[in-house]
A and B are shown apart, each in its own frame.
Chain A
Amino acid sequence: MTAATALDLAGATLREVNSTLQAADGGSFRVVNPQGAHALACGLDAPVSVHVDGPVGYYCAGMNQHATVHVDGNAGTGLAENVMSGTVTVTGNAGQSAGATGHGGLVVVHGNASARCGISMKGVDIVVGGDVGHMSAFMAQAGNLVVLGDAGADLGDSIYEARLFVRGSVASLGADCVEKEVRPEHLEFLAARLADAGLDADPADFRRYGSARRLYNFHPDDVDAEVAR
């Protein structure tokens, strides 16, 4: 393996670091002194590998395509928001809206994720080693949220077709979110994704939640039609 190219945010500007990462079509990078920078390593569009030494701010690895971004530390709001593909991993905790609106790829948070984790997710898989905050998977459309710890209040409120797996307790389920049967294909999926995430848990310990599909359509009454009959 060739040595990673070092990028130092203590000396270089965010624009310089991001344009270097965005211009690369492969290779490995190590970003040092991130000092909580926002929008770090966002908009990557190639199979590059980025290792960030330290905490990042908002929207780290936002809209990621193909790249592997590994943050050794905590991440702020909107980690890997709208991620399309690739893998984004955080060894610490993640702020609100981790993996929000993500279309694909894998987001892994080893610690806890705050409120709205996986909000409006559209196909991404999110694996959280710890707990997730309230309103997680709000309006989640597609993809999978796997939580090894507990989930906060109103999990999966107004959920569409995403699948939610929680090992611990769920403070409460949001509107139209119900517990569903765990079938063999779900156990298989969990085993594979937990392995991808490098997290150790028994798939059999998870419960599954999803949409009751009762909010998908308005249900108008039609009193007049009944009277006419």
Chain B
Amino acid sequence: MTGDWNLRWSHTFSPDVLAEIRRAANTGVYSIRGFGAKRAVPNFDDLVFLGASMSRYPLEGYREACGTDVVLGARHASEPVHLDIPITIAGMSFGSLSANAKEALGRGASAAGTSTTTGDGGMTDEERGHSTKLVVQYLPSRYGMNPDDLRRADAIEVVVGQGAKPGGGGMLMGQKISERVAAMRTLPEGIDQRSACRHPDWTGPDDMEIKIQELREITGWRVPIYVKVGAARPYYDTALAVKAGADVVVVDGMQGGTAATQDVFIEHVGIPTLAAVPEAVRALKELDMHRTVQLVVAGGIRTGADVAKALALGADAVSIGTAALVAIGDNDPDLDDEYRALGSAAGAWDQYQAGNDPAGITTQDPELASRLDPVLAGRRLANYLKVLTLEAQTLARACGKSHVHNLEPQDMAALTVEAAAMAGVPLAGTSWVPGRDA
């Protein structure tokens, strides 16, 4: 920028804003992309753990046990889901992802002792085969929905919304509607698929209660029923999901990833994950359902610290999408030349909808897809999940906890006033929680 000091750039009309105005003027179509919200919002980085001190006794890192297992869905299901770690793989459809990518997610999750999830578009045999624990999603589109897949799933996730677009339906651009994807969804090949945003056969929580009853009757009350919501009104949504009979509530914050959504939706609808968790927990506690109905939190989870903080705020587990894709090779710097040839760069690439992913993950092109080795990629994911777990355990031990679920808000402080208000923990160095009487 040397020599450019006389150029005065606008904050309001910044270069990326100007570029978007020009793009819109050229095409007449809104911007659709993948990935999650890219702007800065208050997040788990704004919290710190306090660790042990005179009054708190830590556990020995290498000698003393710190449990990480979690049971999801024991409220009504005769066969709840037992996981070794409190980190699950979020729903990402075959269609948005290649079959190899889905296989890699299944392999990695299974090796780490956790579950993976189908997505908009139905269950594939490969995915079922490679996932010891598989959650089947029940979405408004009902693409590929059938009772056999419900019965061979380990849990059913009724999707009301997702964090990237609470109130929006799925999208899959024509480039990715291959013959197989089209057949699974009963759609013409090559169309720009925009799925329904409302469920076709119920409106509101009273109807949903009956829908959940039907799903239980079809699966013999065996498998847990999760309800996934985008973080919009998490207090009310959680309470209503519990009322409708959910065994597990999944709350996905605004940072949550997506395969294809309007940019305006990704960046401007929903509230941050950090703000959503305490609201969901408050609803569960008021109903005396905390730990009876499990809370799974998603949206921008990247590290073991994020996992530990979500649990400390009261979640039972977290779910990851984007981070799992990065672990298996998405946005790999080794592919920078190829990303640049597509007008992007490794680390900035968000064109999951385009179907031309050099990493072979968000594509249906057989040649590109074959670049991803599902066995190696699965190992990478298993390693990554292991690190997240070890990190969360390390933090829990430092706070003197023999199970990650024993972490609590009192173990943390906030670095910003916003985070203190959202998370309901004191601003660091004070005993002040904004909005609460001192």
Interface residues of A (CB under 8 A from B): 14-15, 18-19, 22, 38-39, 42-43, 45, 57-59, 62-63, 65, 77-78, 81-82, 84, 96-97, 100-101, 103, 116, 119-120, 122-123, 138-139, 141-142, 160-161, 216-224
Given A59-B201, A82-B146, A103-B146, A220 contacting B191 (CB threshold 8 A):
no
Q: List 19 interface pairs A-B (beta carbons < 8 Å), by A numbering.
A: A19-B220, A38-B210, A58-B211, A59-B211, A63-B146, A77-B210, A82-B142, A97-B201, A100-B142, A100-B201, A101-B201, A119-B200, A119-B201, A216-B192, A217-B174, A217-B190, A217-B191, A220-B28, A222-B26
Question: Of the candidates A38, A43, A103, A160, which one forms a contact with B187 in the assembled complex, judged by CB atoms under 8 Å apart?
Answer: A160
The reply to whether B218 and A43 form a contact with Cβ atoms under 8 Å apart is yes
- Listed from nearest, the 6 A-B pairs whose CB atoms lie closest are A43-B218, A78-B201, A39-B214, A97-B201, A101-B142, A63-B147
Question: Of the candidates B192, B210, B217, which one forms a contact with A43 in the assembled complex, judged by CB atoms under 8 Å apart?
Answer: B217
CA distance A160 to B189 in the complex (A): 12
CA distance A30 to B221 in the complex (A): 24
The reply to whether B192 and A218 form a contact with Cβ atoms under 8 Å apart is yes
The reply to whether A38 and B142 form a contact with Cβ atoms under 8 Å apart is no
Cβ of B327 to closest chain A Cβ, rounded Å:
32
The reply to whether B214 and A38 form a contact with Cβ atoms under 8 Å apart is yes
In the assembled complex, which residues on chain A have CB atoms less than 8 Å from the CB atom of B190?
Answer: 217
Q: How large, as a class, is the contact surface on chain B? A: 20 to 34
Q: Which residue of B lies closest to A65 (CB)?
A: B147
In the assembled complex, which residues on chain B have CB atoms less than 8 Å from the CB atom of A123?
Answer: 186
The reply to whether A120 and B218 form a contact with Cβ atoms under 8 Å apart is no
- Beyond the given A14-B217, A82-B142, A160-B187, please list 14 additional residue pairs across the A-B interface where CB-CB is below 8 A: A58-B211, A59-B201, A59-B211, A62-B214, A63-B147, A65-B147, A77-B201, A82-B145, A82-B146, A100-B142, A122-B186, A218-B192, A220-B29, A222-B26
Return the CB mask of B13-31 against A: 1 if under 8 Å, else 0. Answer: 0000000000001111100
CA distance A161 to B202 in the complex (A): 24
Cβ of A57 to closest chain B Cβ, rounded Å:
7
In the assembled complex, which residues on chain B have CB atoms less than 8 Å from the CB atom of A119?
Answer: 200-201
CA distance A73 to B422 in the complex (A): 53
In the assembled complex, which residues on chain A have CB atoms less than 8 Å from the CB atom of B219?
Answer: 43
Question: Of the candidates A39, A100, A139, which one forms a contact with B213 in the assembled complex, judged by CB atoms under 8 Å apart?
Answer: A39
Given A39-B210, A58-B214, A120-B200, A142 contacting B186 (CB threshold 8 A):
yes
Return the CB mask of B363-382 against A: 1 if under 8 Å, else 0. Answer: 00000000000000000000
Return the CB mask of B173-210 against A: 1 if under 8 Å, else 0. Answer: 01000000000011110111000100011100001001
The reply to whether A78 and B217 form a contact with Cβ atoms under 8 Å apart is no
The reply to whether A15 and B191 form a contact with Cβ atoms under 8 Å apart is no
CA distance A149 to B82 in the complex (A): 53
CA distance A63 to B62 in the complex (A): 52
The reply to whether A141 and B187 form a contact with Cβ atoms under 8 Å apart is yes
CA distance A14 to B221 in the complex (A): 12
In the assembled complex, which residues on chain A have CB atoms less than 8 Å from the CB atom of B383?
Answer: none
The reply to whether B142 and A77 form a contact with Cβ atoms under 8 Å apart is no
In the assembled complex, which residues on chain A have CB atoms less than 8 Å from the CB atom of B303?
Answer: none
The reply to whether A42 and B214 form a contact with Cβ atoms under 8 Å apart is yes
In the assembled complex, which residues on chain B have CB atoms less than 8 Å from the CB atom of A223?
Answer: 25-27
In the assembled complex, which residues on chain A have CB atoms less than 8 Å from the CB atom of B185?
Answer: 141
In the assembled complex, which residues on chain B have CB atoms less than 8 Å from the CB atom of A18?
Answer: 217
